[in-house]
Amino acid sequence: MVTKASIKKVKKSVQPLLVVGTVAVDSVETPFGKRDECFGGSASYFSYSASFFTPVRLVAVVGKDFPSQYRKVLEEKNINLEGLQIHPTGKTFRWKGKYDFDLNNAQTLETHLNVLLQFDPVVKGGNQVDYLFLANFDPTLQMKVLKQVERPRVKLVALDTMNFWIQNKRKDLKTVIEHVDLIVLNDGETRQLTGENNLIKAARKIRDMGPDIIVVKKGEHGVLLFYRDQFFALPAFPLDSVFDPTGAGDTFAGGMMGYIAKQNSVTFDTLKRAVAYGSVMASFTVEKFSLDRLRELGGSDIDERLSEFRALTKF
Amino acid sequence: MVTKASIKKVKKSVQPLLVVGTVAVDSVETPFGKRDECFGGSASYFSYSASFFTPVRLVAVVGKDFPSQYRKVLEEKNINLEGLQIHPTGKTFRWKGKYDFDLNNAQTLETHLNVLLQFDPVVKGGNQVDYLFLANFDPTLQMKVLKQVERPRVKLVALDTMNFWIQNKRKDLKTVIEHVDLIVLNDGETRQLTGENNLIKAARKIRDMGPDIIVVKKGEHGVLLFYRDQFFALPAFPLDSVFDPTGAGDTFAGGMMGYIAKQNSVTFDTLKRAVAYGSVMASFTVEKFSLDRLRELGGSDIDERLSEFRALTKF
């Protein structure tokens, strides 16, 4: 007999938003402090941020040394970790970076890919994914993930990348870009990918490569959203104390995709609010090291900051 | 007998907005074209832009060589030119500049101050000025102007400056800043003046120097407005074809001050709309050389673009 309770259970086990990315151990130095061996990684920031809006499933790899308390951080937000592979011998991916007083640019001091070198992402239940986020990663692996989800069932595929792949794996990257609906880049990457200085012209060029939706992050200068022929511009939420920018971009993407998945709609209006929510989530992350600030967030904090944000952009 | 007509005439002769700045002959080269000996100068752009909102009075100096057709450009907008001194022998101030593909920074090729070297700004009827704009200029001359207007009668004094004065006449500049209500700077100047990288902290430092209102122009990234403890952020109006950025800042200031003077009010709401109008005016200026685009503007063009602007920033 199908009871209400069993229907509810079935619904709950569906995880409409999937992220494939990295789970890492970071060491970070900013002008305001230093933190060794803290919790990081694109999929960690993304999924924690998105989980405020919708259930999230994570696909990533860690080593045997991955601290159990970091796993618990993701579990406290009910993030589905069935896709988190644990390598039997390797070590977890480690990143060490430093920010100078101009907090816009991270200086990478050390990168130890470790288990990432053998990462073979496996998406179980690829026919159950509604929304997919391909975090910054080798484009050949991103393509491998994409092949495991069922098109056209999946409603929106979003992609992040970085200067390294644009420069060194341009051809593979372009193949992935052809197959996604949304791409999120910072302004430098947008210019690098297109060779076009004007961001509006650059966005048009990217649209011609495939995606309908282009999100250009400009750090302290806000976000531009291009959706087909429509355009939306949002300044950044003003912060007088950016403490640590690590994870801001992934937190932004998590808030954005989480909101889209929650609304289960890809209209221009939803997208506009989604980038606003993404900005709000990122504005929290940068106030403390690692996921510390996100972990403190209470029920109304997010919506309160969104209201504040709306007020200071309205004229 | 005081008739309606005579009252109207008296009212019309009052020019509530005064600008003191430069009237120049520019030669400009951009990646898209070249124009020699075209009409320029901070007071020209400012007053033409402001004249769409309110009557404007201009104080500046030119040489005997100043082309009569440029004077006619200002006259076509009924700009009061009684304060435009004509030097009997000297030549008009000339600026020659070039922009590379990154249109954010002008490269000055030649500056011939000419008549500016002996400029002694005279404000007649200093007791009739409601709104005053001190365009970018030697701060000692700006102070000289300020002493000719009646405080507290004047309702708002606004100031523009540039990196040269911040570096070379910091003490004199700080004296002027102490005496003004509004200062308009670009982001680089804001950081240079305060030694503070974070613009919110920088604005607080400037507020401590005197002005209640700080407007930070960020070019393609929009504008920040600080009014006492309140904050407003506006992205730039999106342009895919910036043709010539010369005069954008002065046109912005003209639209902003023109709107404030028209509303005859200095509330936070007025200021927010004023920077939006300023941005709209600047977005026109950069579409063509010199004042060419402003001169084409018809009745509803400005409000139409403002509506468009509002739509693409609302979420």
B104 chain-A contacts, CB cut-off 8 A: none
Residue the block writes with tokens 């909102």: B53
End-to-end Cα, chain B, rounded Å? 56
**A4-311 maps to which CATH number?**
3.40.1190.20
Q: Distance between CA A121 and CA A141 in Å, rounded?
A: 7
Q: Which secondary-structure segment (H or E) carries B36?
A: strand B33-40
A201 chain-B contacts, CB cut-off 8 A: 240
CA distance B204 to chain A (A): 10
Q: What is the 3-state secondary structure (H, E, C) of chain A?
A: CCCHHHHHHHHHHCCCEEEECCCEEEEEEECCEEEEEEEECHHHHHHHHHCCCCCEEEEEEECCCCCHHHHHHHHCCCCEEEEEEECCCCCCCEEEEEECCCCCCEEEEEEECHHHHHCCCCCCCHHHCCEEEECCCCHHHHHHHHCCCCCCCCCEEEEECCHHHHHHCHHHHHHHHHCCCEEEEEHHHHHHHHCCCCHHHHHHHHHHHCCCEEEEECHHHCEEEEECCEEEEECCCCCCCCCCCCCHHHHHHHHHHHHHHHHCCCCHHHHHHHHHHHHHHHHHHCCCCCCHHHHHCCCCHHHHHHHHHHHCCCC
Kind of pairing between the strands at B106-112 and B56-62: unpaired
Give the CB-side neighbour count of residue A5, counting CA atoms within 13 A: 1
Question: B235–A234: do the CB atoms touch at under 8 Å?
Answer: yes
ipTM for the predicted complex: 0.82
Among A221, A223, A226, A308, the strongest candidate for a mutation testing the B interface, having the largest count of B CBs within 10 A, is A221
pLDDT of residue B241: 80
Quickly state the pLDDT bin for B15 (edges 50, 70, 90).
low
B235 chain-A contacts, CB cut-off 8 A: 222, 224, 233-235
Amino acid at position B76, single letter: E
| Residues of chain A with confidence (pLDDT) below 70 | 1-15
How far does CA A195 lie from the centroid of its chain? 25
Contact A57, A123 (CB under 8 A): no
Question: A242–B198: do the CB atoms touch at under 8 Å?
Answer: yes
Query: Which residues are CB-neighbours of B123 under 8 A, at least 6 positions away?
Result: B18, B20, B59, B83, B129, B145, B148, B149
Kind of pairing between the strands at A56-62 and A80-86: parallel
In chain A, the residue whose alpha carbon lies closest to the alpha carbon of B225 is: A312
CA distance B223 to chain A (A): 9
In chain B, the residue whose alpha carbon lies closest to the alpha carbon of A187 is: B221
pLDDT of residue B14: 56
Whole-number mean pLDDT of chain A?
93
Determine phi and psi for B117, rounding to 5 degrees. Answer: -60, -30
pLDDT of residue A141: 96
Kind of pairing between the strands at A223-227 and A230-234: antiparallel
B273 chain-A contacts, CB cut-off 8 A: 315
B197 chain-A contacts, CB cut-off 8 A: 101-102
Q: Is the pLDDT of residue B274 over 80?
A: yes
Amino acid at position A171, single letter: K
Task: From the options 2.40.170.20, 3.40.50.1400, 3.40.1190.20, 3.30.70.20, give the CATH code of B15-311.
Answer: 3.40.1190.20
Query: Which residues are CB-neighbours of A85 under 8 A, at least 6 positions away?
Result: A60, A61, A62, A119, A122
Amino acid at position A195, single letter: G
Tokens of B53: 């909102």
Domain limits of chain B?
15-311
pLDDT of residue A66: 97
pLDDT of residue A15: 62
Q: Distance between CA B25 and CA A30 in Å, rounded?
A: 48
Average pLDDT over residues B40-49: 98
Of A198, A224, A312, the CB nearest to B233: A312
pLDDT of residue A231: 96
User: What 8-state DSSP symbol labels residue B14?
Assistant: -
Rg, chain A, Cα only? 19
User: Per-residue pLDDT tens for A154-183?
Assistant: 999 999 999 999 999 999 999 999 999 999
Query: Which residues are CB-neighbours of A8 under 8 A, at least 6 positions away?
Result: none
User: Per-residue pLDDT tens for A112-128?
Assistant: 999 999 999 999 988 88
Residue pairs spanning A and B at CB distance below 8 A: 83
B241 chain-A contacts, CB cut-off 8 A: 198
Q: Hey, is B180 helix, strand or coil?
A: coil
Question: B313–A310: do the CB atoms touch at under 8 Å?
Answer: no
Q: Distance between CA A15 and CA A131 in Å, rounded?
A: 9
How far does CA A282 lie from the centroid of its chain? 10
Angle (CA) B241 B245 B250, round 5°: 135
Find the Cα–Cα–Cα–Cα dihedral B67, B68, B74, B79, rounded to 10°: 120
Q: How many residues does chain A have?
A: 315
Tokens of B31: 């990646």
Of A197, A218, A240, the CB nearest to B200: A240
In chain A, the residue whose alpha carbon lies closest to the alpha carbon of B204 is: A240
Contact B158, B132 (CB under 8 A): yes
Of B231, B236, B273, the CB nearest to A238: B231
End-to-end Cα, chain A, rounded Å? 57
User: Per-residue pLDDT tens for A232-264?
Assistant: 999 999 988 789 999 999 999 999 999 999 999
